[in-house]
Amino acid sequence: MYLSSLQIEQFRNYHDRIFSFQEPTTLIVGDNASGKTNILEAVYLLATAKSFRAQRIEEMIFYDQPLARVKGSVALTLAGEGAQQSERTLEILLTRGEIQGRRVAKRRYQVDGVAKRYADFAGTFSAVLFRPEDLDIILGTPHVRRRFLDDVISQVDRDYRRSLVSYEKALIRRNRILDAIREREVPRTQLTFWDQLLIKHGQLLTQKRTDFIEMINTSPTQLDSFRVKYDSSTISAERLGQYAEQEVAVGFTLVGPHKDDFSVEFEDGKALVQYGSRGEQRLAVLWLKLAELSFIAQKNGERPVLLLDDIFSELDQGHRALVMKVILEQQTLITTTDLHFIEAGLRKDFPIIALS
């Protein structure tokens, strides 16, 4: 898997820029606010169809422009005999919901010029992102950890993507009905269809998450001092029945994978968030990212592109050396404000994109 070029138009601080990636590893160097992370965000968008930092699509569109475009040329290895390479052009169009007075979708996806739905676009190309803010996977809210699970599994599992979309839509609808039941506007029988839909897709999500976490815990890495404990909120007809009165009282669904969480522990079972130093917590994030890299490579049969966003200032020398070994195993894009964080013997061989 290889990204050969990236074109971004009216995206963040870029009007129209093309970046070529001719070598396995590329260094992107510049001061803060120069647009380094915007490049990685665009690449990640092509892989997951999601931004890792924007809350709203409009945040990614250049000021006063109606739309933004992200386009990438990628080389993928086709399954089957011969391991042939296939060139694909991926494109995402981001809008404010209106172009020339006409309402349009805020996101449009294309592969080789053919329109695709989210579930059929995401995962065509894969990337693993590692940035300082990933410490929130350890210290942040359950929502952050669920998103980590969703972003990883969605890149390699079409059924998961589809069930995730269906589950989230069914959850919104079911919560509206629960609220209406509380206000005595509709009968409880209105829940039957949505209960069945939620159970069907929720159980698939739980099983896929369980499989991923089991893989993390059993795969050997160079950092085998942690494990993940999965706190699964299973969904079934019995559990929905158990919480039926409480759900009507509060007006929303109390069980299901939207309530899942996980924690990272030391091998002795102590929670990292409580007993780990900041250095150990950062090390655990690196452990998770190496596991993510391995998982996607295992599922796809080829390694994803690795995106490192200014992480070297956060790691000690020993773990910088470990990351430097890993970057040579697949295409890697590295952003940094200071080239001195990159080992001199290696950086001389890497092309540099200098931003001002």
* β-strand pairing of 2-11 with 14-20: antiparallel
d(CA 135, CA 132): 6
What interhelical angle do 158-182 and 142-154 show, nearest 10? 140
> CB-side exposure of 275: number of CA atoms within 13 Å?
11
Three-state SS for 333? strand
Annotated binding-site residue? 35: yes
Element (H, E) at 34: none
Annotated binding-site residue? 202: no
* β-strand pairing of 25-29 with 332-336: parallel
Q: What angle is formed at CA 343 by the lines to CA 337 and CA 345, rounded to 5 degrees?
A: 130
User: What tokens appear for 212 in the block?
Assistant: 């991923």
Annotated binding-site residue? 31: yes
d(CA 350, CA 339): 11
Three-state SS for 108? strand
Annotated binding-site residue? 37: yes
Annotated binding-site residue? 259: no
Annotated binding-site residue? 30: yes
Annotated binding-site residue? 195: no
Annotated binding-site residue? 208: no
d(CA 85, CA 78): 6
For the chain, how are helix, strand and coil distributed in percent, rounded to 5?
45, 25, 30
User: What tokens appear for 306 in the block?
Assistant: 């690795």
Cα–chain center distance at 11: 19
Residue ranges of the annotated binding site are 30-37
Residue ranges of the annotated binding site for ATP are 30-37
